[in-house]
Amino acid sequence: MRRIKLTVAYDGTNYCGWQIQPNGITIEEVLNKKLSRLTGEDIRIIGASRTDSGVHALGNVAVFDSETGIPPERLAYALNQRLPDDIVITKSEEVPLDWHPRYCNCTKTYEYHILNAKIQDPTRRLTRYFVSYHLDLEKMRRAAGYLVGTHDFASFCNVRTNVEDTVRTIYELSVIEEKDEITIRIRGNGFLYNMVRIIVGTLLRVGRNFYTPEQVEDILEAKDRQAAGVTAPPHGLMLVGIEYE
């Protein structure tokens, strides 16, 4: 028996997120079916990040156990021949049998992409959140500074989550402008349910002058979801990668 680690990229537009659920097709479901047919075994993968419906990824991580004779490094090529065009395995490799993608220390990097223009661009509508109004990026950057570090992010967590510990560490939170696109890049040791999208929604309200940058510190200290901004739409979000220690 071997444990195989997969690095997975996907366009989440046509999927109900990563995790298997009864109301639609998911990334996990597709991978389980294709791997089971490829290996002749009943494969059940374990994913590192359970991305939501419509969220994209360049570097999500999953593992599965198998006795297949296919070399681990060749599994990516064999599996890609069977996967739909919007899911790609960028790397496959063997890891120790006790290695778990959720319980190892890691840094996750997300990017939220915004098209800030007067007119929508149909070629980017599935991967960029269209915002037609002016945003004060300097204020957004100042506000972002209050969120960097180790904090209780209860105000930036969906109320439906059942997690007990809402303390997380953000290493980097940048607001980057390039032509008509704004990228909010965030790196941390883990994220709560909808945390990145709520942070983005809050920063956008700062950019529109509904909040001052200093109010973000008050929102953080409130530990109340109602204090923060709305949850930004999922299609602008991308899991860029996961780096393990």
- In sequence order, the 6+-apart residues with CB closer than 8 A to the CB of 10 are 27, 56, 57, 60, 86, 87, 88
The helix/strand/coil state of 95 is strand
How far apart are alpha carbons 193 and 126 in whole angstroms?
Answer: 22
CA end-to-end span of the chain: 24
DSSP characters over 20-61: -BTTB--HHHHHHHHHHHHHSS----EES--PPTT-EEEEEE
Partnered with residue 243 across adjacent β-strands are 107
Options 11, 42, 52, 136, the catalytic residue: 52
85 a catalytic residue: no
Q: Which two tokens stand for residue 170?
A: 């953000």
Catalytic residues: 52
